[in-house]
Amino acid sequence: MTAHRHSAGAAALPWPMVVLAGCCIAVISFGPRSAMGVFQVPVLTTFGWGSAAFSIALAIQNLLWGVFQPFAGALADRYGSMRVLMAGSVFYAAGLILMAWSSTPLAFDMTAGVLIGVGLSGSSFNLVLGAFGKLVPEERQPMAFGLGSAAGSFGQFLFSPLAGGLVVTWGWQVTAIAFGALILAILPLSLAVASPPAPQRAQGPDSSLGALREALTQRSYVLLVLGFYTCGFQLAFVTVHFQKYVVESGLPASTGYWAFALVGMFNIIGSLSAGWLSQRMPRRYILSAIYFARSVATILFIILPPSAASVYLFGMITGLLWLSTVPPTNSIIVQIFGARHFAMLAGFAFFSHQVGGFCGVLIGGYARELFGSYAMAWNISIVLGVFSALVNLPIVERPMRRPAEAAA
């Protein structure tokens, strides 16, 4: 099977070049967002805020990223990915740059929360994976999804220690401005992943809304979306609060951001492995194993005495399980519904992911302020991991049969 081709100037690009450009976008867009935890302590110190103020802004960011992701995906399905990526990168860059002058909680909510959240929905690796669903041959898509996810992880590996070093050397405001300028590099790269509008088909829903309604009647899709909530809760909580948790455990701040860099490095292995396995075994079993393993890793981490070794080990294990949910999740969506409305349907699943992220960030911040520790948030993360491990098992991995097709 051959991939769809571009309709514009990038028409001659072979799919490996499309994947390479998409991976570069994933590195650039995911890097600054994954390093937001580095900013927490210096921002709170600068303005004298409590943990809740920073948590609210990042919770808003996660929620709006999820809320606008289905719309961004629908626009990419309708008009192609290039325009959406360009618009999203402008919002994202503006949020990072203006964050440097946000001296009140409300202003910080608008920049780090609203602008970056909306920008991420149009410029993150989710849009890149949506383009891969249209431009990469079907038999290569699971590995392409794995490469896109791994590229985001490399951005995390690269930007976490980079942000830590820049904050120490130049301050968090200069670091935010520099990251915002870097985001604009997505503008030229988006030309290479300019997916064409979805072709019309004789059967199936003609609108994004119709496709979503149809998908929500499928139990397997609903279970997949429910399970993805847990992924968002766990990842967002760790992204925002893990490094503060490490400092409050009596360890140096550098231990936290290097451990988070390990999450990114090992996630490259985890994402590629999940993509490879998704071509060879049922994806529901992969997802179930990932969620269960996360709960086990969390239990061991919180019961072991705090040490650099335990923090680094947790970073490595968490990295293997970090974005490894993405290749099997997206592969199941393509397998059931095809590529026509893939960006929007994957975007709606990601909305569930980001609702979980909103809860993870907010519960983490308020639990810390109310009870003086993150214990409640860690325990919720463990329970949700077991829940999602069970929820994914009944998923049926086969193309959906519509009434007209069944009658024929």
Instruction: Flag whether 405 is in a domain.
Output: no
Instruction: Flag whether 203 is in a domain.
Output: no
Instruction: Flag whether 406 is in a domain.
Output: no
> What pLDDT is attached to residue 2?
40
> What pLDDT is attached to residue 202?
40
Number of domains in the chain: 1
344: which residues sit within 8 A by CB, 6+ positions away? 70, 73, 74, 76, 77, 208, 211, 212
pLDDT tens-place string over residues 178-207? 999 999 999 999 888 887 765 555 444 556
Long-range Cβ contacts of 47-51 (<8 Å, 24+ apart): 47/103, 49/105, 50/369, 51/244, 51/365, 51/368, 51/369
Instruction: Flag whether 201 is in a domain.
Output: no
> What pLDDT is attached to residue 198?
59
Sign for the CA dihedral angle at 166, 167, 168, 173 comes to positive
Q: What is the DSSP string of 256-298?
A: HHHHHHHHHHHHHHHHHHHHHHHTTS-HHHHHHHHHHHHHHHH
User: What is the C-alpha separation between 269 and 274, in angstroms, rounded?
Assistant: 9
User: What is the C-alpha separation between 177 and 361, in angstroms, rounded?
Assistant: 24
> What pLDDT is attached to residue 63?
85
**CATH (domain of 165):** 1.20.1250.20
Instruction: Flag whether 208 is in a domain.
Output: no
> What pLDDT is attached to residue 302?
92
Instruction: Flag whether 2 is in a domain.
Output: no
Whole-structure pTM value: 0.74
> What pLDDT is attached to residue 406?
44
Quote the domain boundaries for residue 44.
12-195+214-399
From 72-81, 165-174, 306-315, the region with the lowest mean pLDDT:
72-81
Q: Which among 5, 194, 191, 188 has a CA at the least distance from the CA of 81?
A: 194
Instruction: Flag whether 207 is in a domain.
Output: no
> What pLDDT is attached to residue 56?
87
User: What is the C-alpha separation between 290 and 263, in angstroms, rounded?
Assistant: 15
**Residue holding tokens 């086969």?**
398
48: which residues sit within 8 A by CB, 6+ positions away? none
Residue 250 vs residue 10, higher pLDDT: 250
User: What is the C-alpha separation between 257 and 163, in angstroms, rounded?
Assistant: 9
Question: What average pLDDT does the segment 49-55 reach?
Answer: 81
pLDDT tens-place string over residues 95-114? 999 999 998 999 999 999 99
Average pLDDT of the residues of the chain: 84
